[in-house]
Amino acid sequence: MTKPGVLKKHVSSLDDVAKDGSFVRKPTQFRNWIKADGSTPYPPEAGRYHLFVSLACPWAHRTLITRALKGLEDTIDVTAVHWHMDELGWRFATDKDDDELVLPGAFRPDPVNGFERMRELYFSVNPEYDGRVTVPCLYDTKTKQIVNNESSEIIEMFNREFDAFATKSPGDLSPEDLQDEMEQVNEWIYPNINNGVYRCGFAKGQEAFERAYTDLFGALDRLEEHLKTKRFLCGSPSRLTLSDIRLFTTLVRFDAVYVTHFKTNNKRIVDYPNILNYLRDLYQREAFRNTTDMEHIKKHYFASHKSINPFSIVPPGPSMEYLNESHNRDNLS
């Protein structure tokens, strides 16, 4: 039931490139908030909001981890789009798609509006929408509006605004006393690591690529030193926070995808002892491991970016078993 007028070619993030060949990510446009104090039109309610994700997308992966840590699975339903992004962007699965998933029941046709593609949902909210059609997308089934499509804000909402519905208590993942430290960490991790891998992979000029490459590995070297005595990124003693969730989704994709697909081949995560054990420490927690679908991740990147990998060849490795090995970080503060 694709709507007339919305079949124009999908414009992907691969096209967000400056004149010098640098990748420049465009900001998300839906930035409303769900608030428990009633200060917005969107109060937290069980069953009202639907989360649309891709299991391949690191930004969407953040929201799945936070949702699982807080035990919000019965409060916020989720649908995962198909791993392949074609010329019309993300599409929903059909009854013929039978991929095995880490989230049973999530890979399915759109259960909310019956749309075939994510772009239909965006255009149903705003027929004149001219931004990127992205996931994660937090949708209000009551008002038929997109509440928010910015991952860093969605995880803040899941952390705090749904406490009345949470069935698990991981602690405050964004505590007031760590706000300054979390912001300081994000100021160098987001541009150089989270977005840094994309600045490398989507660059369309040698100099732009090398600038991003230098920034990325400079930040990874800094991270390796940062994690030498700290179990988590922030706090003294350190505590698991949203900062760790934001970083994990990039690190877990690095060796399997970014090293080859985005040409970030100076070092792998397995070459950084502290980062590797930090990654293992997080991965071995149920909310992180059970939301990581490496098959979807690899299929999406290697088969969807035709300008980078024109024959869509997907490498079968590496095995992820190394992430189940001992991390030896229990005694760090």
- pLDDT tens per residue across span 278-324: 999 999 999 999 999 999 999 999 999 999 999 999 999 999 999 99
Give catalytic status of residue 301 as yes or no.
no
Q: Which residues are within 8 A (CB) of 121 and not within 5 positions of it... i.e. 6 or more apart?
A: 52, 110, 113, 115, 137, 139, 146
What is the model's pTM?
A: 0.94
Q: What 8-state DSSP symbol labels residue 331?
A: T
Cα distances from 51 to residues 40, 57, 263, in angstroms, run 19, 13, 32
Give catalytic status of residue 200 as yes or no.
no
Mean pLDDT of 156-175: 97
Token pair listed for 267 = 């070092």
Q: From the candidates 57, 137, 200, 234, which is the catalytic residue? A: 57
How many CA atoms within 13 Å lie on the side-chain side of 70? 29
Residue of 173, 165, 136, 168 lying closest to 74 (CA atoms) = 165
Token pair listed for 159 = 């952390």
Q: What is the pLDDT of residues 201-233, one digit of tens each?
A: 999 999 999 999 999 999 999 999 999 999 999
Query: Is the pLDDT at 8 greater than 70, yes or no?
Result: no
Q: From the candidates 42, 49, 122, 198, which is the catalytic residue? A: 198
Distance, in Å, from the CA atom of 116 to the CA atom of 121, rounded to the nearest integer, reads: 9
Distance, in Å, from the CA atom of 121 to the CA atom of 147, rounded to the nearest integer, reads: 12
Distance, in Å, from the CA atom of 72 to the CA atom of 21, rounded to the nearest integer, reads: 41
Distance, in Å, from the CA atom of 91 to the CA atom of 108, rounded to the nearest integer, reads: 10
